[in-house]
Structure 1
Amino acid sequence: MGSVNPIELGIFIAYLAVLVFIGLKFYNASSDSSEGFLLGGRGLGSWVTAFSAQASDMSGWLLMGLPGAIYLGGVPQLWIGIGLFIGTCVNWKMVSERLRVYTEEVDAITLPTFFEKRYKDPTGALKTISALIILFFFTIYCASGMVSSGKLFSTMFGINYNAAVLIGAVVIISYTFLGGFLAVCWTDLIQGILMVIAIAVVPTLAIIEMHGLGTTRVAMASQHISMSLFGKGVTAATIISAVVWGLGYFGQPHILVRFMGIDSVKDIPKARKIAIVWCLISLAGALLVGLLSIPLFKGLSGGKEETVFILMIHRFFPVWIAGVFLAAIMAAIMSTIDSQLLVCSSVLSEDLSRIIFKKELTDQQAVKVGRWSVIGVSIIALLIAFNGNSTVMGLVSYSWGGFGAAFGPLVLFGLYSRKTSWQSALSGMVVGTLVLIVWKATGLSATLFGTGIYEILPGFVANVVTILIVNRFKTPEAEVVDEFDEMIARYEKARA
């Protein structure tokens, strides 16, 4: 890709200009209050909520990370997709409605604030530590998106990787800085539509051009790549490690905030159906892209396998269509980074503001801090992304596991348990996070058990077990129990 095609470049510039325009459009609406900037006034409709939640969920991982993993490992890598699909369905069913009601009940617009108010932590430790966990893992997560954008631009236009990372970051920062939550969600709607069209159309037309999957099966057999979910080398540990990705959904702040921002609980069933259909189509398309690339692009490794979708688009489509589909990859990348930057912004302007500034901020001050926080976090993520050896899959898996292990049990216990105290929640979160970090850093699973179990599972289980143990010694105040009962009553009324 040594020369820049002017048509592709023009389509890209036009697409990026639209995103910045959306940021400008919502500038005033997001400037009045921190709730407006960070949660859009809780006024999202079903379609925007569904597409925004799924687009911010899947990111460049869907169009680059997963096809690359399937290219290298074959069909067994789809177990990750199966786990994510199950997690999507369960999260929308178990968490979305109750979280929408409960966060409004306690007047919380961020996850750390929800934890503090839900469990009535008098020390502030639950809010502070959860906010720091978000900053740590989301900075790494944002870096994964910037790696994706760098690979996209450098593959398309043959420009320097670091320059490519910087170009993508500038655009994302611009519209997130300007328009806040509403800009992020409406751009996610556009980007979600582009993503699902691209991931459905590209492999379909590739199959037609290749006259079926015959060459793929031959190539997989010759390279000893498994064509079965239960093929050679697939163990129980392999399947478990892949499927438990679904546990991560219960703790992802950038997805959960969409549930908090929807206009009404009654809009959620429709949004849930839209989201599940989107997810099913997208995961099936990613599988096909990875499989079809095996006979087409041989010998890719070292992170270059994550460009197979880009290479397939260039191979089978005329330049003006290719430009649109390549913009869809950028859409996937942006739809997650913008959400993560906004959550980091909310943490610094809402959850840590008293510690940092030694006072409560006014709404206008909180919005300013939120906007500048977007830039600060982006700079750190850029420094991580400038390491050209980083892979999208590696960065995403660590961050995804971190949130699932730290926050997933707290969300579930918070929405379904009357008897969980703030001491239990705090202990569980700390233990779950530490177990995940140690498990990952030391390779404990492979060293002791020879299994390579994904670190989210031991972290999540350690969190749950800790909560259950501490619950036997520490019971919540009567106020906590009464408020939980009020939430359930409001939830039942809202659904009626």
Structure 2
Amino acid sequence: MSTWVILAFVIYMIFMLGIGIITARKNKSSDDYFLGGRNLGGWVTALSAQASDMSGWMLMGLPGCVYAFGANQAWIAIGLLIGTILNWVIVAGRLRRYTIRAGNAMTIPEYLSNRFRDKHNILITISAIVIVIFFVVYSASAFASGGKLFASITKMDYHQALIVGAVVILIYTFLGGFLAVCTTDFVQGMMMLVGVLAVPILVVIVLGTGNIVPNLVNSGLNVDAKDYLNIFMQDGKPISGISIASQLAWGLGYCGMPHILVRFMAVRDEKELAKSKKVAIVWVLISLVLACVIGVLGRAYLYPMVLSNEGAQYENVYIEMIKKLFMTDYTLPFIGGLLLCGILAAIMSTADSQLLVSSSAVANDLFKGVFFKKLKDKQILFIARATVFVVAIIAIVIAWNPNSSIMNLVSDAWAGLGSAFGPAILMSLYWKRMNLAGAAAGMASGGLTVIIWDYIKCCTLDGVHVTPATYTGVYSLLVGFIVSLVFIVVVSLATPKASDEIMQEFEDVKNGNINA
């Protein structure tokens, strides 16, 4: 049975590697490697942005949380949907124009540096540090997803599976750069969509609607089935405003995700961007709704199997559903393997993007922008690929524990990036008075707040020292975003205005004049 599944995976990975090899021939400069020559089409931009966003979290982390804790976890999906829509509506177009106007910037750190005429490379340095720290954690979540996937469907050891998946991602990221990543993300986004559409429909057909609630009741829920299915109930009680606000706050992270924002910068023109917006919003709406549905249906369909909270086993709910649907019948395991490739697609589409953004931050922003300004393209590409390798190794070490929670890893990384970059990007696009000092203060305070909130034990709860996040139940992104925003405004107002040149550039972008 597993032979057919492995065959499906091998065929899929060979196909992805083929794309990497083909697109490698189109990389004639670092601009091609990091931004694809600003020539992405609408569909590729849309699915690449969203596939690189969702990762294994969408098919493992989110359904798993709904499976284990109930429909109240859907507030995360609602927040992400709102964040996606706002990101495409208010950030995408203006960011593309501003990055062109501000010295044709290829990366988010370079854009911020050019935007505020940062001659001392303060913003580039802060950006690179934030990106490397939190993208290492983010990449670890993707690698952990891959390890759990392979370990669940084959006899392969988790650690071996972790390394196999990482090697494939490394190879085609090395070879193809941004264009390879975006092209493969397009394919992978389509595969993810097919998976989240097909599995729930088939489960309802096989299980029957009349068996869903009875199976939920018998599956060992800690609350009534009605409360489990109610997004306004948590642990048998009305959900608190803090819980809703913290879950909705996930949407704030979108405007601070460099691996998503860079897609806006790379699209061919404004018409293609308008097309991308519609495609992306529809894709996200369908995917997030069905990811939550998978969590609920999985609990009913897999009964009498109950996935444990220990080691976050509940994050395998989608995998187990596919195995039960297709792998008990020896004529269908290959189809099941193809659907499982949707999870691999989600994992790879995010990990490759994170590795590429990390490499651009180190090679293009730090080495070329700060230390060695006369580096040639070949040298930049060498440093970029070396960075990809080093970041991947560190991420593998973080994900080495088979009990790593995908949801927790993604949550930490999402909060750090969203808090450091989100307010800075938004305010840089829409507030003329923002200056270099405000940007630096906001980025540094946002990133540090998340680290303190999530990792520094400073409170006591039931006699145990815990972090502020555990003590209050407030998501660190909400706190970090607000702190960063306050610092940007206060410091900008307390320091001199930006130069007339910067002010005029802002007006040019606002009026659509990017060739001034």
Counterpart selection for 2:293 from 280, 285, 288: 288
The equivalent residue for 1:455 is: 476
RMSD: 1.9
2: distance between equivalents of 1:477 and 1:492?
18
Does the Cα contact within 8 Å between 1:49 and 1:259 map onto a contact in 2?
yes
> What secondary structure, in the 3-state scheme, does the structure 2 residue paired with 1:192 have?
helix
The equivalent residue for 1:414 is: 428
The equivalent residue for 1:483 is: 505
2: distance between equivalents of 1:124 and 1:103?
17
1: distance between equivalents of 2:353 and 2:319?
24
Unmatched 5+ residue regions in structure 2? 327-331
Counterpart selection for 2:360 from 343, 346, 349: 346
Counterpart selection for 2:315 from 277, 302, 306: 306
2: distance between equivalents of 1:394 and 1:324?
27
Query: Is 2:261 aligned against 1:261?
Result: no
Q: Note the 1:96-111 alignment, pairs <5 A.
A: 96-106=92-102, 107-111=104-108
Query: Is 2:192 aligned against 1:171?
Result: no
Query: Is 2:226 aligned against 1:230?
Result: no
Does the Cα contact within 8 Å between 2:368 and 2:380 map onto a contact in 1?
no
TM score, norm. by length of structure 1: 0.95
Change (3 A) 1:444 1:256: farther
Change (3 A) 1:397 1:290: same
The equivalent residue for 2:329 is: none
Segments ≥4 residues shifted beyond 6 Å: 444-449
Shift of 1:12: 0.7
Cα offsets for 1:40-89 (capped at 9, x unmatched): 00000000000000000001000000011001110000000000000000
2: distance between equivalents of 1:356 and 1:490?
31
2: distance between equivalents of 1:337 and 1:279?
19
Does the Cα contact within 8 Å between 1:353 and 1:360 map onto a contact in 2?
no
Q: Say how many residue pairs are matched.
A: 490
Change (3 A) 1:219 1:254: farther
Shift of 1:215: 3.3
The equivalent residue for 2:217 is: 218
Does the Cα contact within 8 Å between 2:101 and 2:515 map onto a contact in 1?
no
> What secondary structure, in the 3-state scheme, does the structure 2 residue paired with 1:453 have?
coil
Does the Cα contact within 8 Å between 1:95 and 1:412 map onto a contact in 2?
yes
Change (3 A) 1:154 1:222: closer
Shift of 1:374: 1.3
Change (3 A) 1:76 1:491: farther
Shift of 1:489: 2.2
Q: Note the 1:47-58 alignment, pairs <5 A.
A: 47-58=43-54
Aligned-residue identity in percent: 43
Q: Note the 1:312-327 alignment, pairs <5 A.
A: 312-317=321-326, 318-327=332-341
Shift of 1:221: 8.2
The equivalent residue for 1:333 is: 347
Counterpart selection for 2:110 from 108, 113, 119: 113
Does the Cα contact within 8 Å between 1:37 and 1:179 map onto a contact in 2?
yes
AA paired with 2:484?
Answer: N
Q: Note the 1:39-118 alignment, pairs <5 A.
A: 39-106=35-102, 107-118=104-115
Change (3 A) 1:345 1:187: same
> What secondary structure, in the 3-state scheme, does the structure 1 residue paired with 2:472 have?
coil
Shift of 1:442: 3.1
TM score, norm. by length of structure 2: 0.92
Does the Cα contact within 8 Å between 1:220 and 1:227 map onto a contact in 2?
no
Counterpart selection for 1:151 from 148, 151, 163: 148
Unmatched 5+ residue regions in structure 1? none
2: distance between equivalents of 1:423 and 1:329?
42
2: distance between equivalents of 1:490 and 1:220?
57
Query: Is 2:398 aligned against 1:402?
Result: no
